[in-house]
Structure 1
Amino acid sequence: MIVPLAAGSAVDAAARIVADKMGRNLGQAIVIENQPGAAGLIGAGNVAKAAPDGYTIGGFNDSIMTMVPNMTPKMPWDILKDFEPVSLVATVEWGLVVPADAPEKTAADLIALAKKQPGVLNYGSGGNGSPQHIAMALFASQAGLNMKHVPYKGATQAAMGVAGKEVDAAFQGLATVTSLIKANKVRLIGVTTPKRMPQFPDVPTVSESGMPGFEFNSWFTMMAPAGTPKDIVHKLAAEVQKALADPEVREKLAAQGLTPRGTTPEELGAATRAQLAKYGALIKANNITAE
Structure 2
Amino acid sequence: MTATSHLRIHQFAGLTPGPRLLVTGAVHGNEVHGTQAMTEIIRQLDAGELTLLRGTLTCVPIVNPLAHQLGRREGDRNLNRNLRPPVIAQDYEDRIARVLCPLIAQHDGILDLHSFQGNGPAFAMIGPRNNTGELEPFSQEATESALAAQLGVGRIVEGWLSTYALGLKRRQQREHDGSRRASLISDPHYGVGTTEYMRSTGGWAITLECGQHLDPNGPSVARLAILRTLVFLGMLDESAVEPHRPSQPPEMLQLYDVIDREDMGDQFAREWASFDPVEKGQTIGTRASGEAVLAPSEGRIVFPNVKSQPGTEWFYLARPSDRQLG
TM-score, normalised with respect to structure 1: 0.25
Higher helix content, 1 or 2: 1
> Comparing both chains, which one has the higher relative contact order based on Cα–Cα distances under 8 Å and sequence gaps of 6 or more?
1
TM-score, normalised with respect to structure 2: 0.23
